[in-house]
Structures are given as C-alpha cells and as structure tokens.
Amino acid sequence: MNLTMHAEQRTQQRGIGENQLEWLITYGQIGHNKGGCVYYFDRNGFEQLINEVGKDHLSLAQRSRDIYAVVVDDKVITVGYRDDRLKPKKPHRRVRHTVPEHPAARRIYHRIY
C-alpha cells in the first residue's frame, strides 16, 4: 500500500507501524466517507486479528483496536486513532406514547399507563 507524505508524517507522529496498517487493511471494515474509503476495526475483524496473530505481536495488535486509515485511489491519505467523532453511534430512540384520539382508546390507554 502506498503512503502519501502526509500519511508517513502521521504514522510517525502517532506511532502507528506498518504491521498495524497491514492488519487494518486485511482485517478491517471498510466505510465510505466523502469519496474516500475509511478502514477501521469492527468487533469481528478485531477478534479475527487477535486469534490469528502470534503471541509476540499480541500487545501490538491490542493497541491497534482504535486506528483508522483513509484510502483514496490505493493511496493511504492519513491514519490516526478513532475518537468519539469517528466511532459509530447507536441511535437513541425513545418510544413516545401519545394519547390516542379516539375516546374509547383513550380510556384503555389511561388504564395501562
């Protein structure tokens, strides 16, 4: 995988090695954002990595859990560690119970709640 100058600087600044990038491209999940591919570890890919990596690289693999890479045209543009902005979020949906319009349904509703 080719790295741009920016990606090389970011790997040095953030302490992300070539092994970690290879693992990310091999086992990571691909998401698309603004014309680029974002590689990151989901639960299944990370568990597969942990199971297949040797004991000598296990601690390095565990530190790789939150890394990401942005790839455009087979070039790595940037790499980094995911924070709250990049982690997928579950939608928080509240079930709202509204009072029904029909009078008979309203009586049943008030008995339940």
Residue pLDDT, tens place only, 40-63: 999 999 999 999 998 899 999 999
CB atoms within 10 A of CB 50: 14
Percent of the chain residues topping a pLDDT of 70: 78
pLDDT for res 33: 80
CA-closest candidate to residue 66, choices 96, 87, 38, 49 = 87
* Mean pLDDT lowest among 4-8, 50-54, 69-73, 107-111: 107-111
Q: Residue 111: pLDDT above 90? A: no
Angstrom CA distances, 69 to 7, 49, 86, stand at: 9, 17, 11
Q: Which of 56, 49, 47 is nearest to 21 (CA)?
A: 49
Listed in sequence order, the residues at least 6 apart from 7 whose beta carbon sits closer than 8 Å to its beta carbon are 69, 75, 76, 77, 78, 79
Indicate the pLDDT class of residue 94, thresholds 50, 70 and 90: low
Identify the bridge partners of residue 36 per DSSP, sorted by sequence position: 33
